[in-house]
Structure 1
């Protein structure tokens, strides 16, 4: 497999001795399909001798949906082949059992997922210490140091800075393409939406309110006399807390984790993504992509809707 290809196997694969034929939905998403792309996709299907029930190409939205009957082993082989073609040609792929339960809950990371940047890094840039903080952020997102240690170190560097910098970041932070459509459409289809972030409330609440999330969970920075103290309220929102929020929401909604879609980009998102029925790495760091079968590396957040099987509003 190409060294740039990172992907774990999906949890629906059965051992060969117990494998069986079921229906799968194959979704291929691109910014623009070429004729060669479509030929490659059809060739992959034919190579695996898979029974094709339907093949639909939505040219307006650049989405190909294929319904197939095949074994779980062959479905995973198809997934791998299409994913490799996707890296070369520029498209994202999901292969999901057609009989999966409907998604009822959408849980999203914020930094570099719902929004374009790492907001703590942006805060540090305004404070003149961007390079120092960004280096720590990168190590944390790669899983090289634990999130809480990295958070304490970064916020400690901001001690004595004016708290108004937080408001500046909240005002200038831009959402990723498709974020507004994703949340609007998810809510229109009855999903509960939760923004869970290692970022800080002064920024997170602005993004959550702007997009219409039902709930947000995030960290809080201690402010005294208009100045950042360099301390973070405990407990922090780390990977364990993100997973706990997902499980809490499942209990409150009386649903199973299989009915959750979770999306993020870094190592601290991995537990909640692995727990979800559809866990998606969004332009993820290698450590996350290596542990996540469902990935968006080419298209935008609107693709999450197609992966969940719901229509864009």
Structure 2
């Protein structure tokens, strides 16, 4: 007589209804087996329930009992036997987050092929969001995050999707400090150009700003040259600029949701404290650092006061804020779009290039090219459903998603 198999894999599929899991487990309990692994998903009302159990003394009797249970539940069932040995897997594991608007099957197929070509295995896939972007979290084993990041960077560009690769560890959900650039990151547009409109030199300032963000000019030199053009603008123009600011979509959602979870926020800007301090107060942001415009007799002098917050200064601010909170740099997230954000992005545990210049996208840990700032939360492992549930508890009504 052949030896009994060491494990049985039982897979039930069919219309979801209450009692499927409990009925199946009750049948298994009568057989006295141990549950080794268990996973269940529901997709559009269809249930897939997989159970890996130790085989009983009488596998045939269990097979008959499970088949009877499945018939009573109007479910299909497959039972496979095998040895209890699990394939040896690499200790290296990663989360691969894929974002798209839309996310086409061809793009996902290309991404999964790349993962396979790196010698990695996809252990699990979780949907994080279906609107306004589609986002999936792939749990991958068998290849280092660095290898996967290299393999998938080219595919992301080819497919027009965003892909983030992060090590699987507790820090992913445990990051406690989020440091953001302001201009073209937290807000839509550049404050200095808005002020320049009051001085009649918006186009000239915009040209210099664009070159500086691409890394073609020294930031401090370019800032002082642009600010000099603002001499004579009344300080009251700063109030008008502030009232005209538009936050990027999802900014408030991200800040209020992560604040509930104990996250701390900082804004670090090459712009001006007269604007960023008010933004911080409005959004409940804990730290703010920016340049200070000199104002004398209610008029901008064309100078900045004190040390300029440049590329190195942004990274230094991140480290100082983290140290004040008792956090390591690995416990930080940095978000930015320009060349002066590069050191800050590199210093963070997760550096995100948000709708950034090409040189910044290629240097950052990951890039997000959709206009929704709250997609950053998907990189941290949060789902759209969790975010909306948190808002509902706070009495915030979320618009109903489109029917698909």
Residues 14-29 of structure 1 correspond to what in structure 2 (within 5 A)? 21-29=91-99
Once structures 1 and 2 are overlaid, which stretch shifts more, 165-174 or 43-52?
A: 43-52
Cα gap change, 1:191 to 1:247, in 2 (>3 Å): same
Number of the residue aligned with 2:167? 97
Question: Matched residues in 2 for 1:71 and 1:34: separation?
Answer: 25
Structure 2 unaligned regions, length at least 5 = 1-89, 391-404
- Which residue of 196, 203, 215 corresponds with 1:143? 215
Q: Give yes or no for contact 1:163–1:227 (8 Å, CA) kept in 2.
A: yes
Q: 1:299 to 1:84 in 2, by over 3 A?
A: farther
Match of 1:117 in 2: 189
Q: Is the 8 A contact 1:127 1:161 kept in 2?
A: yes
Counterpart residue number, 1:169: 241
**2:282 is aligned with 1:201:** no
Deviations 1:73-122 (A, max 9, x none): xx444434433333343321111110152211110010011111111011
| Residue number in structure 1 paired with 2:255 | 183
Higher relative contact order (CA 8 A, sep 6+): 1
Give the distance between the partners of 1:299 and 1:114, measured in 2 at CA.
11
How many residues end up aligned between the 2 structures?
292
Match of 1:152 among 224, 229, 237: 224
CA positional deviation for 1:216:
1.2
| 1:48 to 2:118 alignment | yes
**Alpha-carbon distance in structure 2 between the residues aligned to 1:106 and 1:56:** 24
CA offset at residue 26 of structure 1? 0.8
- Displacement of 1:306 after TM fit? 1.5
Q: Is the 8 A contact 2:280 2:287 kept in 1?
A: yes
Unaligned runs of at least 5 residues, structure 1? 1-19
Correspondence 1:31 to 2:101 = yes
Q: 1:108 aligns with which of 164, 177, 180?
A: 180
State the distance in 1 between where 2:108 and 2:339 align. 34
Q: Does the 8 A contact of 1:90 with 1:298 survive in 2?
A: no
Instruction: Name the CA shift for 1:65/1:211 in 2 (closer, same or farther; >3 Å).
Output: same
**2:96 is paired with a residue of what secondary structure?**
strand
Change (3 A) 1:275 1:166: same
Three-state SS of the structure 1 residue aligned to 2:247 is coil
User: Are 1:86 and 2:156 matched, yes or no?
Assistant: yes
Give CA-to-partner distance per residue, 1:32-56, whole Å, 9 cap, x none. Answer: 2223233333333333342221012
Mean Cα deviation higher: 164-173 or 286-295: 286-295
Maintained 8 Å contact 1:266/1:284: yes
Alignment counterpart, residue 127 of structure 2, candidates 36, 39, 57: 57
CA distance in 2, matches of 1:223, 1:63: 46
Distance 2:299 2:128 in 1: 53
Partner of 1:285: 357
1:67 aligns with 2:139: yes
8 Å CA contact 1:219, 1:236 repeated in 2: yes
SS at match of 1:228: strand
4+ residue stretches of structure 1 with deviation over 4 A? none
CA deviations 1:123-168 (Å, max 9, x no partner) are 1123210111112212211222221111111111111121111111
Aligned residue for 1:302, secondary structure, equals helix
CA pair 299-63 structure 1, distance change in 2 beyond 3 A:
farther
User: TM-score, structure 2 length as denominator?
Assistant: 0.68
- Residues 225-234 or 299-308, more deviating: 299-308
